[in-house]
Each structure stands twice: as C-alpha cells, then as structure tokens.
Amino acid sequence: MTTLARDPGRDLRLTPARRKLNRILCNWQLYLFLLPALAYFLLFRYYPMLGVQIAFKKFKAVPGIWGSPWVGFRNFEHFFKTPDFKRLITNTLAVSVETLLISFPVPILLALLLNQLPSKRYKKLVQTTIYAPHFISTVVLVGIIFLFTSPRAGIINHLIASLGGTRIHFTAEPGWFRPLYIGSDIWQNAGWGSIIYLAALSGINPELHEAAIMDGANKYQRVWHIDLPGILPTVVVMFILSAGKVMSVGFEKAFLMQTSLNISASEIIATYVYKRGLQQSQFDFSTAVGLFESVVNLVMITTVNFLSKKVTNSSLF
Amino acid sequence: MLQTELAAKKRGLKVGQTRMDKTFDIMNYVVLTICFLVVAYPLYFVVIASISDPVDVNAGRVILYPVRMTMDGYRRILEYKSFFTGYRNTLVYTGVGTLVNMLLTVPAAYALSRKDLVGRNVFMMMIAFTMIFSAGLIPTYLHIRDLGLIDTMWALILPGAVSTWNLIVARTFFQQSIPDDLLEAAQLDGATNAQFFVQIVLPLSKSILAVLVLFYAVGHWNTYSNALYYIISDDKRPLQLVLRSILFENTMGDMVEDASNLAAQQRLGDLIKYGIIIASSLPLMILYPFLQRYFIQGVMIGAVKG
C-alpha cells in the first residue's frame, strides 16, 4: 500500500480541494492522452452543432453561418408545407417502424435456437456463415439486390418464371421498396445481431436449466421460461436503442436503392436532406429538415428510455 | 445402468431428454439449416455467376455450378484503371485512417478508464451526448468545407476519427482488465502514467487493440457516403465509390466496348458486376473467418457495457 505521504491525492491531512488539485496535477499525462480525442469532439462534433443555427436563418454565402439574417421558424414552416412533407415522414417512419417490428425479433430467435443446438461444430459453422453478410459493404449489398431482382436476367425472376408466375420488376415498383429494404436488412444483420443475445444467454445460470430438466421440462419450456426471461434486460436495452433511432433511417442504403420509379416510397428524410442540401445547395432549408430529424430522435430515445424505466426497471440511462 | 437410463435408451433418447426435445432438436436443425442456405446461397451464386458465360447467367441456366467457365470478367476488371486506383485509395485511406483512429481512441479510452481522473464524468457525458444528438449533414459539410478539406483524404478520416462506440468498448475493457493493484504497484516503483500505459497496459491489451483495429478498418473499407459527400476528383475515389459507379451508373465504358451489340454489352456488364463484387469483397471475406473471434469479443465487451 502506498503511504499517505507519498500520495498527495489521498493525503487526508490536506483539504479536499487541495487533494483534487493534486490529483489533477499528478495525472497531467492522462489529460495529455485525452487531449487529441477531446479536441476531435470539440472540433468535429460540437463546433458543427453551432452551424445548426442556419436552420433558423436565411443562409447567404458571403455573410456565412454567423452573418446571415435570422428568419425564425420560416424554414421549418416551409418544410411542413411542402407537398413532400407527408410522404417523407410516412416513408421514413414506415421503413423504421416496420424494420423494428419485423427485423427486431429475428436475431433473438436465432440466438435462442443456436444456443440449444446440440452439435457444437454445426453451431460454429452456421454462426460463421450468418455473420459473414455483416461485412459486405452497402454498395455491394444493394448491387447484389439489383442483380438478383433484375427483370430480364435476375435469378429471382428466373425462379418466378420457372414456377409459372409473371416476372416482377422489383426495383420499379414502390410497393416492393420496403420489403426489399427490410428483407435484405434481415439477411445482412440478423446473424451479427444475434451475438449480443448469445452473450446474454451464456450468462444465464446453467443450474436453472438443470433444475428444470429434473422437473421434467422439455426444451420448448426451458427456452420459454428460462432463456427468454434471462435475456429480457438485453432485449429491452437493444429495443430502446433501436426505437430511439426511429426517425434516422440510414442514408446509404436508401439512396442506392432509389430509382426514378420507386421514388414515391424510397425518398426518406436523409436522402431528402442530401439532395436539397448538397446537390441543390439549399443549406438553410436542409439543415432545418435535418435538425427536425435529430430533435425527434432525441425526444424518442429519451421517451422510450423513460417509459422502459417505469415499466421494466431497466433502461439505458 | 439406472432404471431411468435404460428407459431413455429404449426410446432412442439421451438421459433427461423427452420426445418433445427430440422434435425440438430436429426442428432446430431444419430451421437453422434453412437460414444457413438462405445466407450462403446468394454469396455462392455471385461467385459462380462471376465465372460463368454471361449468356447462361442471363438465361437462368446457372443455378448450382458454373456453366461454361470464363475468366473474361475478371480479366477485364484487372485491365480497368479505376479499379486499381480505387483499391489503392481505399488501402491508403484505411491504413492512415485506422492509425489516426487508434492514436486518438486508445490513450483517451485508457485515461477515461481511470477512476482517479478528475472530471471523468463530465468528459463521459460530453462524449455520450454525441451518441444521441449530432449536428447533421449540412453543418458538418459546411464545416469541412470551411476547413478546406473538401476533396482530400482528411475529409474521410477526420470527421469519424473517434467512434464513440469503440471508445466506450475500449474504456470498458481497460476498466475490467487492468487491476488497480497493478497500477499501485507500478506507482510504488515510481512509474509515470505514460510509462505504465506504454510498458504495462498496452502489452496486456493486445486483444482489444486487435478488436479496435478491425472495427475501424472495416468501417473505412466499407463506407461510401463520406466519399460521396467530400470527394470530387475521380482519381481520389475509394473502391466503394468506383463500385457504385459500375454497379449503379453502369459506367464501364472501356470494359465492354468490344461487345457485339447492346444486349451482349449488357450481359457482359452483368458478368463484370458479379466479378467486381467478389473482387472488392474478397479481402474481408477471406480475413473475416480467421478474425471472427476478435470481432465477437468486441461486440461482447460492448454488450456488457450496454
């Protein structure tokens, strides 16, 4: 043990303030370690937040961010009144809510099943395979989707035709946008998503299972009464994280999956902000749209977090 | 043998199993095998389509194995200049980017893991806040533009220099794996924080360092949106952007010039698309099984914190 005299950070003969100062001074190198990352956060995360003010301004290039005149909520009103507004919100919410409802359970199911697989070798094989799509880039994933769904040459339509059906032009029909989006999302991410649940399952006390077997419970019952409740905290946390992101459907995939024909279903807030902002340089307007999205997300995640604290006692913060 | 064991063996079951269990197991195997095939078959198909005659792929005759094998697609890809510049750029961006990531993230994660760091909570809140609120695309873009970083490598590296998630994962690792007594012993020996970090903590942290490198590197390799926003010159495009122009904008010009007619060009185009998907995903797909252990470890550490 260090003697108190040697540790000015814990020397009780000094005042608390003096001890704190000593701790800071002693650890000056730690602050140096922290400095680059801190500088990054201030420079590239917080400073741009100041730029958000142009959502409330009429942005002009010469006066720039700070000099442009204030216009209050005009940009937001403009956004709410555009004919696009309803469609955008619908598309964005529909994609994320449906993704949440449909893809959320899949990794959980996979984890529960994998966990009960008797053969360790087969389990390893399946796991390695279903994790692989996670490492495919978005560009490649959507590239594969377009190749497979091509009406003349795609393997899916060949299958449909050989079963006697009519070929479907998947990427030209708005109605197919969401199924393709969500289906490919499950294909790519369900396997990887099961890792967290498998980790949680490994934390369940094996004695619970042994006791249940003694009582004559079969596997169905054990999964339902032991495994599921055991991973419930993890499920709740993951759900909060996903629910909180409900407004922020990712730009990358939707942008690639857009075609001129399915745009009525595939235009989401993120792609809209990109087009209006970077392609058409309507900086103030698109910042307002983006801010709207961020604020909704903030509200969502704090609400869902609050509710879950009340209902299940576990939450994110 | 015990009475129960005999009874079980008679039914063809193991001890403690019921008949319901056996059906469960069979169903389990069936479902998971279907999942396995659903994932594996598309990947397998892309491979065989990339080495089959485009006429057969187009007509749907390629199902389980390559038909009239041809390496023509790959040959054309290897002759395509942008493919190589894309690859080279991605390798550079990934290398430099990951280095920057590690230099910024690891020391900071260690500092934040120390309980005696005054102001620790403030820093953590500051960092965590960025996970739930961000400036948005346009303000960030304008900021990068004002810094003069448009069309440079740094526009791809700096905005994402520290991933909050990775930082937290690393911090959790340090908190759990570097015992306090180790620190105290080193302090008794007169070691400074820097010495302790470099000579003791880092060698003990090889696994988390590997995890971080992998997570960051894969991130660099795969993202294309930052390049879309910030890169303008053709020769600075990373691989994903080149990929996008081939797969979605059909810019293959010289690669399919010599095809006899439009239909043949389209088929050849498809062959090239399948091939370039394989060519650009190959490094990750090959490395990934060997490094799977590290990735999973990383996710699990993150899960514990979550």
Q: Encode pLDDT of A243-266 as tens digits.
A: 777 777 788 999 999 999 999 999
Residue A294 lies in a domain: yes
Q: Are residues A55 and A78 in the same domain?
A: no
Contact of B299 with chain A, judged by CB distance below 8 Å, is answered with yes
Q: Are residues A217 and A276 in the same domain?
A: yes
Q: Are residues B138 and A51, on separate chains, in Cβ contact within 8 Å?
A: yes
Q: Are residues B60 and A251, on separate chains, in Cβ contact within 8 Å?
A: no
Q: Are residues A180 and A283 in the same domain?
A: yes
pLDDT at B306: 45
Closest chain A residue by Cα to residue B36: A126
Fold type of domain B81-251: MetI-like fold (1.10.3720)
- Asked whether residue B256 carries a pLDDT value surpassing 80, the answer given is no
Q: Where in the sequence of chain B do the CATH 1.10.3720.10 domains occur?
A: 81-251
Q: Are residues B303 and A132, on separate chains, in Cβ contact within 8 Å?
A: no
Q: Are residues B42 and A144, on separate chains, in Cβ contact within 8 Å?
A: yes
Q: Calculate mean pLDDT across residues A202-208.
A: 89
Q: Are residues A103 and A156 in the same domain?
A: yes
Contact of B50 with chain A, judged by CB distance below 8 Å, is answered with no
Q: Are residues A128 and B289, on separate chains, in Cβ contact within 8 Å?
A: yes
Q: Are residues B25 and A219, on separate chains, in Cβ contact within 8 Å?
A: yes
Q: What is the CATH number of the domain that holds A221?
A: 1.10.3720.10
Domain edge (last residue) among A60, A85, A101:
A60
Q: Is the pTM of this model over 0.95?
A: no
Residue A81 one-letter amino acid? K
ipTM exceeding 0.90, yes/no: no
Domain edge (last residue) among A19, A36, A60:
A60
Instruction: Please give the distance of CA B267 from its chain centroid, rounded to a whole number.
Output: 31
Q: Which of A122-127's residues contact partners 24+ apart within 8 Å by CB, and which partners?
A: A122/B29, A122/B32, A125/B36, A126/B32, A126/B33, A126/B35, A126/B36, A127/A191
Residue that has been written with the tokens 């990929």 in this structure: B243
Q: Are residues A246 and A294 in the same domain?
A: yes
Q: Are residues A250 and A109 in the same domain?
A: yes
The two three-digit tokens of residue B14, written as one number: 């193991």
Distance in angstroms (rounded) separating the CA atoms of residues B175 and B110? 8
pLDDT at A288: 94
Q: Are residues A263 and A152 in the same domain?
A: yes
> Crossing angle for the helix pair A120-131 and B262-305, nearest 10 degrees?
120
Domain edge (last residue) among A60, A82, A101:
A60
Residue A203: strand, helix, or coil: coil
Helix residue ranges, H only, chain A: 16-26, 28-40, 47-50, 64-67, 74-81, 84-103, 105-115, 120-131, 138-149, 155-162, 177-202, 206-214, 219-222, 228-244, 251-257, 263-266, 269-274, 283-312
Mutate to test the interface with A, among B17, B87, B138 (most CBs of A within 10 A): B138
Residue A46 lies in a domain: yes
> Crossing angle for the helix pair A177-202 and A228-244, nearest 10 degrees?
140
Distance in angstroms (rounded) separating the CA atoms of residues A185 and A104? 11
- Asked whether residue B299 carries a pLDDT value surpassing 80, the answer given is no
The two three-digit tokens of residue A276, written as one number: 């209006």
- Residue-number span of the structural domain to which A159 is assigned: 74-312
Q: Are residues A8 and A109 in the same domain?
A: no
Contact of B7 with chain A, judged by CB distance below 8 Å, is answered with no
Q: Note the pLDDT tens digit of each residue in B122-156.
A: 999 999 888 888 888 999 999 999 999 999 999 99
The two three-digit tokens of residue A7, written as one number: 């540790």
Question: How many domains is chain A partitioned into structurally?
Answer: 2
Distance in angstroms (rounded) separating the CA atoms of residues A64 and B138? 13
Residue A69 lies in a domain: no
Q: Are residues A44 and A145 in the same domain?
A: no
Residue A15, CA distances (Å) to A19, A40, B141 in order = 6, 35, 48
Residue A194 lies in a domain: yes
Q: Are residues A91 and A21 in the same domain?
A: no
Q: Are residues A18 and A96 in the same domain?
A: no
Q: Calculate mean pLDDT across residues A221-230.
A: 90
Residue A65 lies in a domain: no
Closest chain B residue by Cα to residue A209: B16
Q: Are the CB atoms for B231 and B238 separated by under 8 Å?
A: yes
